[in-house]
Amino acid sequence: MGSNMAEAHPVGFQWVMEAKANDATVIHIDPRFTRTSALSNLHVPLRGGTDIAFLGGVINYILSHELDFREYVLPYTNASFLVSENYQDTEDLDGLFSGYDEAKAAYDPATWLYEGTSGSASAGTDHHGDAKEASTSYQHGSGGPVVEGATEGIVVDPTLRHPRCVYQILKRHFARYTPEMVEAICGIPKERFLRICTAWTSNSGRDRTAALVYSVGWTQHSVGAQFIRAGSIIQLLLGNIGRPGGGIFALRGHASIQGSTDIPTLFNLLPGYLPMPTPAHSSLAAYIESIRGDKQKGFWRNADTYVVSLLKEYWGDAATKDNDFCFGYLPRINGDHGTYRTVMDMVDGKVFGYFLLGQNPAVGSAHGKLQRLGMANLDWLVVRDLTMIESATFWKDAPEIETGEIVPQQCRTEVFFFPAAAHVEKEGTFTQTQRMLQWREKAVEPAGDQRSELWFFYHLGRRIRQRLAASADERDRPLLDLAWDYEVHADEPSAEDVLRHINGHDLTTGQVVNGYLDLKADGTTSCGCWIYSGVYADGVNQAARRKSRFEQDLYAGEWGWVWPLNRRVLYNRASADADGKPWSDRKALVWWDAERGEWTGHDVPDFPKDKPPTYLPPQGAVGPDALHGDDPFIMQSDGKGWLFAPTGLADGPLPTHYEPHESPVRNLLYGQQGNPTRKVYGRSDNPSNPSPPELHSEVFPFVFTTARLTEHHTAGGMSRTLPYLSELQPELFVEVSPELAAQRGLQHLGWAHVITSRAAVEARVVVTDRMVPLRVQDRVVHQIWMPYHWGSVGLVQGDVVNDLFGVVVDPNVFIQESKVATCDIQPGRRPRGPKLLSYLADYRRRAEITIATGTQLATMGPAGITHTEPGRQSTEDSP
Amino acid sequence: MGLRRLIQSWPVYRQLAGPDPLGRGKAVESPSHVSLTARTASADRVARSVCPYCAVGCAQQVYVKDEKVIQIEGDPHSPISRGRLCPKGSASKQLVTGPHREQKVLYRAPYATEWAELELDTAMDMVTDRVLDARRKGWQDTEENGSPLRRTMGLASLGGATLDNEENYLIKKLFTALGALQIENQARI
Amino acid sequence: MIGDHSLSGPLDDVAADAGHLAPPPRVGFFTDTSVCIGCKACEVACKEWNLVPEDGLNLLGMSFDNTGMLGANSWRHVAFIEQQVPLGNQDTGLAGLPTGPSGIEQMTDAISSTLRHAERGGGELGTTPLHVDSEPQSLGMPSFDRPGARTGAEDRTDFRWLMASDVCKHCTHAGCLDVCPTGALLRTEFGTVVVQQDICNGCGYCVSGCPYGVIDRRPHDGRAQKCTLCYDRLRDGLEPACAKACPTDSIQFGPLEELRAHAAQRVEQLHELGVTEARLYGHDPNDGVGGNGAFFLLLDEPEVYGLPPDPVVPTRDLPAMWKYAGIAASAFLAAAVAAFAGGGH
């Protein structure tokens, strides 16, 4: 669901085909019939962006038929926990949870807590009166937020009957997500929906497991994090987490996008999912206090050791106990500094320099025009890539040249293009989608000026430090004190040495540490990323291990290295029952060996190795020591899988169906139309198409979505330049159903253009039975799909499909909604030059679009508050 | 080649004299056909690598001869990919050896309409200057209420999902020391 | 030693028949189209290994197929077929949806009106589908529906999307080889059929000799080109590049006998799973080409995939035709050769 695995991850799909050959049922739920659907047993088309209505329907089916895996749910999830009596559900408030503040478009989550606990008073909350910007949901690490007091016992009702227990709250929350409601919202006929429910539940339990796969079809939504929560709830209810053949698989789209999240190039994180500090963190102690609780369970309790070891790796000898290990050197975040906010700040002249490192936002990011106008308003831009890309050449061939919005002779941006080394021309590790680090050997030297990023940033840092060597400015201390002395061979820094430092050292002996359990908070260890600690255990590059699959078992523990501590299946304690026995012989993975007094099995146990299943901690125990023998979720502060999230999410403790930001229909479940906390940017250069209850949504009557093709790679820099890939998909096209083609007069292989309030994009028409209309509520809804790989550079060229999207983001993770919008489609090519601008202005006029359109987030009352910001007037006529 | 060998290598001779009277196999093999072998067999070395496209993490074997990549194939020993590659992974050799690869630093001056070449060293120096300048211009010491910010908003970066962990590590570390925090990558997209 | 079945019919050992002494087992491809995901890795892996040039940057509109057909510059071709037909053991989710008539007819019409093919057989070089706005011509393209399956205006309720990677069949009796006048085409010790580039003079007889329309001449030098079953790789004990890359093992390589046995099992398995339309193509040694070295598991009639239903090697009738005319010529040549052979001792 939300994944086109056969097309986007073809080699991974071999395992699905193998499972199918072994009689597994493969179900593909996706707006269109793809190459994945073609190989599935069941394809279910649904309306884009209605996944929570569907998943909520499945949850309702499970609960109303009591099909949950009770022996799993009771000990391993928070189903029995009682929630605060002040909690009010969306059923009580017509689509809102308790604590909503319309002016801030944000929640105070205080009423969502378990009875008798307190939430993480994460620093920054309401710090400067803007709870939205300071909302800390994006600041929680892999352990999630803190539930303070979890060690002291939470009030539970093991009968699951108490009206305020999570199980009953869940049941009530989803009670109206009936098969009929699913049919009316998603467009999935009731019978087909029930067939999926049956297949899912009957293939889960002691002897069977079901796996759920998603990709950016789930994340790129204004409610994206809650899509994944909804899937997680089902998998927890059915006992499919932490077990072989179960789980939720996030299939990620770039070679090391998992790595770039673990060792983040992200504004809100430090390595290992430690949050970036905020201004409220006046000291290291205050910071550590905010990311772990005194009375919490689990391994986040040891966050002090992770933080201090990171600071020791960053600032070496300069980091001492007396100076808070240079904690003060860290820059502070106080709001949304995500890539879209930054691009708007570029347009507004607040950003001066920009690095693009193997990324092509002029094509690959939502609202390409905003990206290009931002880049055209910089002092300088550095592009590092294998090949020439649109983001490097926007000043001479952007679509805005034709419309006159960018004039080369008037564009001031200074652009540096640095050719990059390719994957065979440097060594280092990628982290693949299942957290596996694999070391790449260098095959050949790069040519000419081609260099690795390692070379570029090492030498940039060296030059900067040289330049500042004599500086007495206090703000330069973090640079001058920086530990920047990695081994260098010729003039290339050693990636192995960097990896060793990521793994960490015992500074008293100079030896590498063997894992994060070795880390200390007293400054005697250093570690660049605690979850990667162990990748250099015993002084061996574990990521470089290549023991053949022919020479080891199915879990292949000696191929590469998986964080944490080479555990292949996370939370695998749950693969055994509460007593530590496998749920069934067929599904055995990790179990308690009573004779030897330890956990053992096919995988590395993701649990304290010698803690028996019956273990009860002594009074006052905290952190890992406080984990009970049946607390499999060892990173959670209460040790349990969260059906209900008492804290940590900006948009509610439970997933709730909200219509996409741009939708052709009213929310059938609630007065609240869209995610009430989604982040909108009401600016003249970021218009929205109207959605009900706003008027004129009929101007953009169709649902629009985009995805990848097997034959290309994202923004195309690594595929449109290759003859062998370009010839396979040589031209941008738009897929429409025969019904829509008839309605709009579209001819197969003829031209059409798709229009939103932002852009019009032309493409060749593909009329196909793979696209189908859906019956939604009282009408027929047509969906339109385009691949998005084209631009103005390369062997094959085409309009930039991402220009069609505006910027609206999920409030938890600030990812844009670019998997669903509304649009119009018309036959023929789009207008060109200045005529294009007036054509779009005419659409906006007909739809009466202003900067306020789409920004009234609370929709229950007639006149709500709009969330606009004073935007720079765009060079075109103001909408 | 002597006359006799010449004649014996004449296909019609071989056809009628050998066990291939119809001249459809052994009799008509040319010398270059007979000497054909897989070019990978003559590789100087094989580097163990990983496909640079999606995140499945298919293992690759990179064959090198005379310091050039001559072939990239899947590594059958991988428990993830079992030697298989998708069309993109199969096109990896073209990706790394194709003529689209830029080899020179290019520079577009403000208001210019064309690229100009620049020495790498000069470009590094210029970028160093500009990073420090943008950092200074966007510097923020504190919030209005005096809480520390210690950061620059003048500098941003996007990218990392296609890079190595070690590279991301240095990028984050250096930018953090610079006080720059608008450091993002595809994971946000 | 011209055997009874040297020119047609079953032939147990094609390599021995071509003069290879103690040849290794005959190898080939079994392409199981029921697991093909249409990724085209086979097309790319083939080109990367064999250095086959790019074959035109044209959107053909034939579903996801922009290769069109096998040719000098496309030795693997993945066909995509959209049909108004249900697939066994699959529910495509159309029932109950507000659908109208299928668009397959419109697609087919549009394709045939915008594509035309260069002539085969040595006239024009290159048989890549040309992307032109000319009068409709429909020549040998995969068909998008069963002939006569459509009745017109009813709502569409069934759909399936078939994908299949096509390749040279490496026939037991290869028309291309049998008509080649230069000895450029030959049967290898592995039982496969390859073109020797240093011998081929570009006459083009093989192009019209192939009952499948596989072999083709490359425009820039006129030489005939087709799949070699990666002969150079076989020499080093490696499997062909396409089979190695294939993500779902749709393309399987191995000794032909093993492949045939496995294919029979696979058909049985699919039938048990309800995929009753599964059938083999090109596996039968008694067919018009003596069976193929590369054979297929298909989910519909071969013509749906652009494959001839009953291919016949053009030399099948040759023995009868040449029975008399040939004797004189052979005798003359034999005498000449005997003279050289004798001199060699």
Concatenate the DSSP letters of all residues of A546-562 into one string: B--GGGS-TT-TTBSEE
Closest-CA residue of A relative to B173 is A314
How far apart CA C207 and CA C175 sit, in angstroms, is 9
pLDDT in tens, C226-284: 999 999 999 999 999 999 999 999 999 999 999 999 999 999 999 999 999 999 999 99
Residue C333 in this model has a pLDDT that exceeds 70: no
Neighbours of chain A (3+ CB pairs under 8 A): B, C
Whole-number pLDDT of residue A480 = 98
Q: What is the mean pLDDT of residues B139-162?
A: 96
Whole-number pLDDT of residue A144 = 57
Closest-CA residue of A relative to C131 is A749
What DSSP designation does A572 have?
A: G
Gyration radius (Cα) of chain A, Å: 27
Whole-number pLDDT of residue C111 = 85
**Helix (H) / strand (E) containing A195:** helix A190-202
Work out the pLDDT band at A803, boundaries 50, 70, 90.
very high
Q: What is the mean pLDDT of residues A536-556?
A: 97
Cβ atoms within 10 Å of C51's Cβ, excluding its own: 7
Contact B65, A263 (CB under 8 A): no
Q: Taking the domain A679-846, which CATH number applies?
A: 2.40.40.20
CA-nearest of B75, B99, B71, B97 to B85 is B75
Q: What is the count of residue pairs from A and B with beta carbons less than 8 Å apart?
A: 481
Which residues in chain A touch residue B71, judged by CB atoms under 8 angstroms apart?
none
pLDDT in tens, A186-202: 999 999 999 999 999 99
> For residue C6, what are the CA distances in angstroms to C1, C3, C12, C185?
9, 5, 10, 16
**Pick from C67, C95, C106: CB nearest A748:** C106
How far apart CA A365 and CA A341 sit, in angstroms, is 13
In this complex, do B137 and A559 lie within 8 Å of one another by their Cβ atoms?
Answer: no
Work out the pLDDT band at A181, boundaries 50, 70, 90.
very high
Whole-number pLDDT of residue A292 = 86
Cβ-proximal residues to B14 (8 Å cutoff; 6+ apart), any chain: B8, B20, B23, B26, B27, B28
Interface of B with A in 26-55 (CB under 8 A): 45, 47-55
**Pick from B4, B21, B83: CB nearest C344:** B4
Domain count, chain B: 3
pLDDT in tens, A387-406: 999 999 999 999 999 999 99
Contact A262, B165 (CB under 8 A): yes
Distance between A152 CA and the closest CA of chain C, angstroms: 51
Q: What is the mean pLDDT of residues C310-319?
A: 76
Which residues in chain C touch residue B29, judged by CB atoms under 8 angstroms apart?
186, 196
Whole-number pLDDT of residue C219 = 84
Q: What is the mean pLDDT of residues A262-276?
A: 97
Residue C120 in this model has a pLDDT that exceeds 50: no
Which residues in chain C touch residue B72, judged by CB atoms under 8 angstroms apart?
48
Interface test with A, best of B101, B105, B178 (most A CBs within 10 A): B101
The rounded percent of chain C whose pLDDT value lies above 70 is 79
Neighbours of chain C (3+ CB pairs under 8 A): A, B
- How open is the CA angle A777-A778-A782, to the nearest 5 degrees? 80
In this complex, do A33 and C110 lie within 8 Å of one another by their Cβ atoms?
Answer: no
How far apart CA B89 and CA A11 sit, in angstroms, is 10
- Domain final residue pick, B97, B117, B138: B97
- Angle formed by the axes of helices A368-375 and A339-347, to 10°? 50
In this complex, do B74 and C244 lie within 8 Å of one another by their Cβ atoms?
Answer: yes
Kindly state whether residues B110 and B177 are assigned to the same domain.
yes
**Pick from A13, A728, A747: CB nearest C37:** A13
**Pick from A10, A723, A750: CB nearest C37:** A10
Q: What is the mean pLDDT of residues A350-374?
A: 98
Identify the CATH number of the domain in which residue B92 sits: 2.20.25.90
Whole-number pLDDT of residue C148 = 42
Closest-CA residue of C relative to A190 is C96
A714: left (phi over 0), alpha (psi -120 to 50) or beta: left
pLDDT in tens, C76-89: 999 999 999 999 99
Asked if C140 is an interface residue toward chain A (Cβ–Cβ < 8 A), one would say no
Distance between A478 CA and the closest CA of chain B, angstroms: 5
Kindly state whether residues B184 and B120 are assigned to the same domain.
yes
The rounded percent of chain A whose pLDDT value lies above 70 is 95
Interface test with A, best of B61, B158, B178 (most A CBs within 10 A): B158
Distance between B41 CA and the closest CA of chain A, angstroms: 16
ω before A361 within 30° of 0 (cis)?
Answer: no
Whole-number pLDDT of residue C118 = 47
Scored b (16 or more CB within 10 A) or e, A509-538 reads eeebbbbbbbbbbebebbbbbbbbbbbbbe
Least confident of A412-426, C123-137, C269-283: C123-137
Residue A131 in this model has a pLDDT that exceeds 60: no
Which residues in chain B touch residue A379, judged by CB atoms under 8 angstroms apart?
130, 133-134
Q: Does the A338-426+449-493 domain belong in CATH 3.40.50.740? A: yes
The alpha carbon torsion through A433, A434, A440, A446 (nearest 10 deg) reads 10
**Helix (H) / strand (E) containing A374:** helix A368-375
Work out the pLDDT band at C339, boundaries 50, 70, 90.
very low
Kindly state whether residues B172 and B118 are assigned to the same domain.
yes
Which residues in chain B touch residue A432, judged by CB atoms under 8 angstroms apart?
50, 55-57, 80
Whole-number pLDDT of residue C342 = 44
Q: What are phi and psi of C292, to 5 degrees?
A: -105, 150
In this complex, do B156 and A722 lie within 8 Å of one another by their Cβ atoms?
Answer: no
Which is it for the CA torsion A458, A463, A466, A471, positive or negative? negative
CA-nearest of B78, B58, C41 to A432 is B58
Would you state the structure tokens that stand for residue B154, as one six-digit string?
A: 């003048």
Asked if C106 is an interface residue toward chain A (Cβ–Cβ < 8 A), one would say yes
Residue A846 in this model has a pLDDT that exceeds 80: yes
Whole-number pLDDT of residue A123 = 34
Q: What is the 3-state secondary structure (H, E, C) of chain B?
A: CCHHHHHHCCHHHHHHHCCCCCCCCHHHCCHHHHCCCCHHHHCCEEEEEECCCCCCCCEEEEEEECCEEEEEEECCCCCCCCCCCCHHHHCHHHHHHCCCCCCCCEEECCCCCCCEECCHHHHHHHHHHHHHHHHHHCEEEECCCCCEEEEEEEEEEECCCCCCHHHHHHHHHHHHHHCEEEEECHHHC
Cβ atoms within 10 Å of A163's Cβ, excluding its own: 12
Q: What is the mean pLDDT of residues A682-693?
A: 97
The rounded percent of chain A whose pLDDT value lies above 90 is 92
- Average pLDDT over chain A reads 94
**Pick from B152, B169, B177: CB nearest A498:** B169
pTM: 0.94
Q: What is the mean pLDDT of residues A493-501?
A: 98
Residue C212 in this model has a pLDDT that exceeds 60: yes
Work out the pLDDT band at C332, boundaries 50, 70, 90.
very low
Interface test with A, best of C36, C57, C113 (most A CBs within 10 A): C57
Whole-number pLDDT of residue A876 = 41
The rounded percent of chain C whose pLDDT value lies above 90 is 70
Whole-number pLDDT of residue A685 = 97
**Pick from A192, A727, A769: CB nearest C156:** A769
Q: What is the mean pLDDT of residues C167-182?
A: 96
Q: What is the mean pLDDT of residues A136-145?
A: 56
pLDDT in tens, B81-138: 999 999 999 999 999 999 999 999 999 999 999 999 999 999 999 999 999 999 999 9
**Pick from C20, C196, C241: CB nearest B30:** C196
Which residues in chain A touch residue B92, judged by CB atoms under 8 angstroms apart?
423-424
Kindly state whether residues B55 and B23 are assigned to the same domain.
no
Which residues in chain A touch residue B145, judged by CB atoms under 8 angstroms apart?
128
ω before A693 within 30° of 0 (cis)?
Answer: yes
- The string of DSSP letters for C1-61 reads ---TTSSSS--S-HHHHTT-SSPPPPEEEEEEGGG-----HHHHHHHHHHTPPP-------
> For residue C22, what are the CA distances in angstroms to A594, C6, C189, C256?
61, 18, 9, 16
What DSSP designation does A82 have?
A: B
Work out the pLDDT band at B41, boundaries 50, 70, 90.
very high
* Residue A781, helix vs strand vs coil: strand
Q: How many CA atoms lie within 13 A of A570 on its CB side?
A: 18
Residue A296 in this model has a pLDDT that exceeds 90: no
Whole-number pLDDT of residue A149 = 72
Distance between C341 CA and the closest CA of chain A, angstroms: 50
pLDDT in tens, C21-33: 999 999 999 999 9
Residue A342 in this model has a pLDDT that exceeds 60: yes
Whole-number pLDDT of residue B21 = 84
Domains and their CATH numbers in chain C:
24-90+100-165+227-314 (3.30.70.20)
Residue B17 in this model has a pLDDT that exceeds 70: no
Residue C321 in this model has a pLDDT that exceeds 70: no
Which residues in chain B touch residue A429, judged by CB atoms under 8 angstroms apart?
164-166
- Angle formed by the axes of helices A166-173 and A51-64, to 10°? 120
**pLDDT: which is higher, A820 or A873:** A820
What DSSP designation does C303 have?
A: G
In this complex, do A35 and C163 lie within 8 Å of one another by their Cβ atoms?
Answer: yes
Kindly state whether residues B182 and B116 are assigned to the same domain.
yes
Residue span of the structural domain in which B122 resides: 106-188
In this complex, do B41 and C6 lie within 8 Å of one another by their Cβ atoms?
Answer: no
Residue B1 in this model has a pLDDT that exceeds 90: no
Least confident of A24-33, A219-228, A751-760, C106-115: C106-115
Q: What is the 3-state secondary structure (H, E, C) of A632-694?
A: CCCCCCCCCECCCCCCCCCCCCCCCCCCCCCCCCCCCCCCCCCCCCCEECECCCCCCCCCCCC
Contact A633, A645 (CB under 8 A): no
How far apart CA A808 and CA A798 sit, in angstroms, is 25
**Pick from B24, B36, B90: CB nearest C232:** B36
Kindly state whether residues B49 and B86 are assigned to the same domain.
yes
Domain boundaries defined on chain A: 338-426+449-493, 679-846
Whole-number pLDDT of residue B7 = 57
- Average pLDDT over chain C reads 85
Q: What is the mean pLDDT of residues A297-311?
A: 95
CA-nearest of C307, C306, C326 to C315 is C326
Distance between B32 CA and the closest CA of chain C, angstroms: 8
Residue A615 in this model has a pLDDT that exceeds 50: yes
